[in-house]
């Protein structure tokens, strides 16, 4: 069982990267929201699920395919995030983190429950876009075209987001607004609106990951809750609020998980939490966290 | 003081026996507890549909007219043995529940099997699969109704080996059910002359199967046996097609596939799958009529074999309670084994001494999208496995109840 073959191992590494790209996309959204709003967004999994469902509806009710979904879904679900932020979250900023966590956790349960009531738990099928159905024979494995696309797309999005927040003027405003909102407002920047849009952006990232996931996994109400716990572990390991940290950790843990699935599959669900425990002991602020 | 104590005890004892003689139905109500996964992976297989099926059985039994007061309650065990055990103990000890029904997820069912035995209540299993419930863990208080891992393995495994699928690789859910299904299928495959090349055990539940599928692909086995259920199975099937496994000449064998899974996958992805079920809604006029009633109350979702099993089991349970005029768990189960079963869904059948309900099983194939004529018209029945061959012979089950007699 433990005889290692190099082709098989490279296959598992590649698959780990693919899963890692989902972790990275989701933890990126969480990190943006936490870093700039100080809200631990437990609704993230539900919003990821809403993204997948939204893509399903676009295809089956309106006849709009995958590429349309990629553009429309993040905007639509992001808009729902904006509503949540305006109506509810904005009232909690002055309170402890815990209240935001409780609110978003409750919302996640409500959203999931409503979807389950409406669509059942077995899930709905979402067809893969024609143009991405093929694959490449790499010698050591068969790489489905769709998975290759997911890796590339999520890398581009992750780096783009990092660039936006760390290297542009808009990003500088955002970061300044989290440090000292009053001062930034004095310069004529509409801080509450910026915060609202940031939340919408984070939610949109989750929805985008949902669209990426729809053709691979069943579109089902619990698809988010099974992933969100792992993603939180990724964020904790990377360092809460660290954007680059969450991206690197996302991909890295995907690879480690992939290797575990090869060497000792029974432990593949726990390995991330073991790493989290070790990191918390040695470096409580996370690998890339500050303070 | 001593005297007083003695009289008190005597009075209490008297009251107790008097009570027992008078009210054979505890609390004057037969309380049926439907326990399953109400909201997770297995909610469409069993879930609220099972509660509905139990209520339909009570309705069709016409309990009120027969002077029986019957109540149906339900709970969510979240697929966790500890949660399930807690609910069961509370139900039996303080809520007056007389019988627990359904309980998918074998690990939970095995835990409740033990609790029910210890407390002398009754347990009717429809959703859980492990054949251990009528094997080494069999109990005088449990009847295993709808299907089991041996039935699935024997039906599907044997049929596939006979049509040329001689080498197997297992993808197994890493808990009691998966292990039992893998063990029983392996035995069936070996017996039919096949070979098992390898196996990999995945955590339950999982959403990504690509790593495991890659290992299955590398094994070069002709058949990849999916010893899992629910969303695990559908995700594995979906991803197998993505990785070109079927195109590469390997076949998938879903060892436990339910109607709701096929619905979730879509005929496009599921077509051609072969597996075993013990009930299908489109078997005859009676099953179709019952299904019509069920669908109307279940939000348009069609019944699985688990739902049918709950209906049939509850109906037979109520018949036994009415015949005995008692809801004492051990006695009712004994009576249920004594009486032949007969209902509109499974027809005539029997319950064996080891607690196994006996009826035919069906080897079905999922239709092509072009062959399906209406909603949930998904299966072609390829073969009927007669009742006496569908389940494990009682002698080879190692059930202690059988050895003694």
Kindly state whether residues B224 and B338 are assigned to the same domain: no
Put simply, the answer to whether A11 touches B174 (Cβ < 8 Å) is no
Kindly state whether residues B190 and B248 are assigned to the same domain: yes
- Which residues of chain A does B205 touch, with a Cβ-Cβ cutoff of 8 Å? 226
Name the residue among A19, A141, A265 with its Cβ closest to that of B212. Answer: A265
Nearest residue to B238 (alpha-carbon basis) of B208, B269, B211: B269
Q: How far apart are the CA of A40 and the nearest CA of chain B, in angstroms?
A: 24
Mean pLDDT throughout B365-391? 94
Domain that residue B166 falls in: 150-277+361-384
Q: Is residue B8 predicted with pLDDT exceeding 70?
A: no
Q: Does B169 touch chain A (CB under 8 A)?
A: no
With bands split at pLDDT 50, 70 and 90, how would you rate the model's confidence at B6?
A: low
Kindly state whether residues B266 and B308 are assigned to the same domain: no
Kindly state whether residues B234 and B377 are assigned to the same domain: yes
Kindly state whether residues B222 and B337 are assigned to the same domain: no
Q: Does B230 touch chain A (CB under 8 A)?
A: yes
pLDDT in tens, A205-220: 999 999 999 998 889 8
Put simply, the answer to whether A120 touches B301 (Cβ < 8 Å) is yes
Q: Which CA distances in Å does A131 have to A5, A101, B192?
A: 32, 40, 43
Do residues B332 and B122 make contact, with C-beta atoms less than 8 angstroms apart? yes
Put simply, the answer to whether A146 touches B242 (Cβ < 8 Å) is yes
Mean pLDDT throughout A92-113? 90
- Which residues of chain B does A262 touch, with a Cβ-Cβ cutoff of 8 Å? 211, 215
Q: How far apart are the CA of A269 and the nearest CA of chain B, in angstroms?
A: 6
Mean pLDDT throughout B235-247? 88
Q: Does B238 touch chain A (CB under 8 A)?
A: yes
Put simply, the answer to whether A121 touches B239 (Cβ < 8 Å) is no
Q: Is residue B229 part of a domain?
A: yes
Kindly state whether residues B207 and B313 are assigned to the same domain: no
Angle made by CA atoms A181, A185, A188, in degrees to the nearest 5: 155
Q: Is residue B392 part of a domain?
A: no
Report the chain B residue with the minimal C-alpha distance to residue A112.
B39
Q: Is residue B100 part of a domain?
A: yes
Kindly state whether residues B375 and B236 are assigned to the same domain: yes
Instruction: Report the pLDDT value the prediction gives residue B53, as an integer from 0 to 100.
Output: 97
Q: Give the B window 33-62 contacts with A, CB below 8 Å.
A: 39-45, 47
Kindly state whether residues B76 and B154 are assigned to the same domain: no
Q: Is residue B4 part of a domain?
A: no
Do residues A234 and A253 make contact, with C-beta atoms less than 8 angstroms apart? yes
With bands split at pLDDT 50, 70 and 90, how would you rate the model's confidence at A241?
A: confident
Percent of chain A with pLDDT over 70: 98
pLDDT in tens, A126-170: 888 888 888 888 877 888 899 999 999 999 999 999 999 889 999
Kindly state whether residues B367 and B220 are assigned to the same domain: yes
Q: Is residue B17 part of a domain?
A: no
Q: CATH number of the domain that B302 lies in? A: 3.40.50.2300
Kindly state whether residues B204 and B265 are assigned to the same domain: yes
Long-range contacts formed by A169-177: CB under 8 A, 24+ apart: A174/A36, A174/A198, A175/A36, A177/A36
With bands split at pLDDT 50, 70 and 90, how would you rate the model's confidence at B23?
A: very low
Kindly state whether residues B250 and B132 are assigned to the same domain: no
Q: How far apart are CA B147 and CA B126, in angstroms?
A: 7
Q: Is residue B19 predicted with pLDDT exceeding 60?
A: no
Instruction: Report the pLDDT value the prediction gives residue A137, as an integer from 0 to 100.
Output: 84
Q: Where along chain A do its domains lie?
A: 7-119+169-282
3-state secondary structure A62-124: CCCCHHHHHHHHHHHHHHHHHHHHHHCHHHCCCCCHHHHHHHHHHHHHHHHHHHHHHHCCCCE
Name the residue among B43, B211, B235 with its Cβ closest to that of A121. Answer: B43
Kindly state whether residues B378 and B230 are assigned to the same domain: yes
pLDDT higher at B141 or A116: B141
Q: Fill in the DSSP letter of residue A63.
A: -
Q: Is residue B156 part of a domain?
A: yes
Put simply, the answer to whether B211 touches A125 (Cβ < 8 Å) is no
Number of Cβ within a 10 Å radius of residue B373: 7
Q: Is residue B3 part of a domain?
A: no
Total domains present in chain B: 2
- Number of helices and strands (H, E) in chain B? 16, 15
Can you tell me the ipTM of this complex?
0.81
Nearest residue to B324 (alpha-carbon basis) of B127, B66, B57, B107: B66
Q: How far apart are the CA of B250 and the nearest CA of chain A, in angstroms?
A: 14
Percent of chain B with pLDDT over 90: 79
Q: Does B294 touch chain A (CB under 8 A)?
A: no
């Amino acid at each position: 069982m433990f005889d290692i073959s190099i082709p098989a191992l490279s296959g598992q590494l590649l698959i780990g990267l693919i899963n890692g790209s989902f972790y990275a996309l989701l933890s990126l959204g969480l990190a943006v929201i936490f870093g700039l709003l100080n809200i631990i967004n437990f609704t993230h999994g539900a919003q990821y699920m809403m993204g997948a469902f939204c893509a399903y509806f676009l295809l089956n009710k309106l006849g709009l395919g995958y590429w349309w979904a990629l553009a429309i879904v993040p905007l639509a679900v992001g808009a729902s995030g904006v509503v949540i932020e305006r109506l509810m979250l904005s009232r909690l900023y002055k309170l402890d983190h815990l209240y935001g966590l409780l609110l978003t956790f409750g919302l996640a349960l409500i959203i999931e429950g409503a979807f389950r009531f409406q669509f059942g738990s077995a899930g709905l099928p979402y067809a893969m876009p024609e143009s991405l159905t093929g694959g490449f024979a790499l010698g050591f494995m068969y790489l489905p075209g769709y998975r290759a696309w997911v890796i590339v797309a999520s890398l581009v999005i992750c780096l783009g987001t990092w660039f936006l927040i760390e290297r542009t003027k808009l990003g500088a405003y955002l970061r300044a607004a989290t440090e000292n909102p009053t001062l930034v407002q004095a310069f004529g920047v509409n801080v509450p609106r910026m915060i609202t849009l940031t939340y919408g952006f984070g939610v949109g990232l989750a929805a985008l990951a949902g669209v990426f996931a729809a053709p691979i996994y069943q579109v089902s109400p619990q698809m988010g809750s099974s992933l969100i716990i792992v993603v939180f572990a990724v964020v904790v390991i990377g360092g809460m609020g660290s954007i680059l940290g969450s991206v690197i950790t996302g991909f890295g843990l995907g690879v480690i998980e992939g290797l575990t699935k090869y060497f000792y599959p029974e432990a593949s669900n726990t390995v991330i939490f073991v790493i989290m425990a070790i990191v918390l002991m040695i470096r409580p602020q996370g690998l890339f966290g500050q303070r | 003081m001593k005297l007083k104590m003695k009289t008190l005890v005597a009075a209490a004892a008297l009251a107790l026996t008097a009570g027992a003689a008078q009210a054979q139905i505890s609390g004057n109500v037969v309380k049926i507890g439907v326990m399953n996964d109400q909201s997770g992976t297995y909610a469409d297989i069993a879930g609220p549909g099972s509660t509905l099926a139990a209520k339909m059985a009570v309705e069709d039994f016409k309990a009120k007219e027969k002077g029986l007061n019957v109540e149906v309650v339900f709970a969510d065990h979240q697929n966790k043995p500890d949660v399930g055990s807690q609910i069961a103990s509370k139900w039996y000890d303080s809520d007056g529940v007389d019988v627990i029904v359904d309980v998918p997820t074998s690990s939970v069912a095995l835990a409740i099997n033990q609790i029910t035995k210890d407390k002398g209540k009754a347990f009717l299993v429809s959703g859980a699969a492990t054949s251990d419930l009528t094997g080494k863990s069999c109990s005088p208080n449990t009847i295993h109704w709808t299907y089991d891992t041996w039935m699935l393995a024997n039906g599907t495994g044997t049929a596939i080996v006979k049509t040329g699928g001689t080498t197997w690789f297992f993808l197994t859910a890493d808990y009691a059910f998966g292990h039992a299904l893998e063990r029983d299928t392996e035995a069936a495959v070996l017996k039919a002359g096949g070979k098992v090349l390898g196996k990999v055990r995945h955590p339950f539940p999982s959403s990504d199967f690509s790593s495991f599928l890659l290992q299955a692909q590398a094994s070069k086995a002709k058949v990849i046996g999916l010893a899992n259920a629910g969303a695990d199975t559908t995700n594995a099937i979906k991803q197998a097609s993505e990785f070109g496994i079927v195109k590469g000449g390997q076949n998938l064998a879903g060892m436990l596939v339910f109607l709701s899974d096929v619905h979730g996958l879509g005929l496009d992805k599921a077509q051609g799958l072969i597996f075993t079920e013990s009930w299908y809604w489109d078997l005859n006029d009676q099953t179709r009529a019952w299904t019509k009633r069920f669908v109307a109350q279940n939000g348009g979702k069609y019944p699985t074999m688990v739902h049918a099993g709950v209906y049939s089991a509850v109906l037979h349970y109520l018949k036994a309670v009415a015949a005995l005029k008692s809801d004492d768990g051990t006695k009712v189960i004994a009576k249920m084994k004594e009486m032949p079963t007969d209902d509109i869904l499974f027809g005539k059948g029997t319950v064996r001494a080891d607690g196994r309900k006996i009826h035919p099983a069906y080897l079905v194939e999922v239709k092509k999208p072009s062959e399906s004529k209406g909603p949930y018209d998904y299966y072609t029945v390829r073969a009927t496995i007669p009742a006496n061959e569908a389940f494990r012979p009682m002698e080879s089950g190692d059930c202690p109840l059988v050895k003694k007699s």
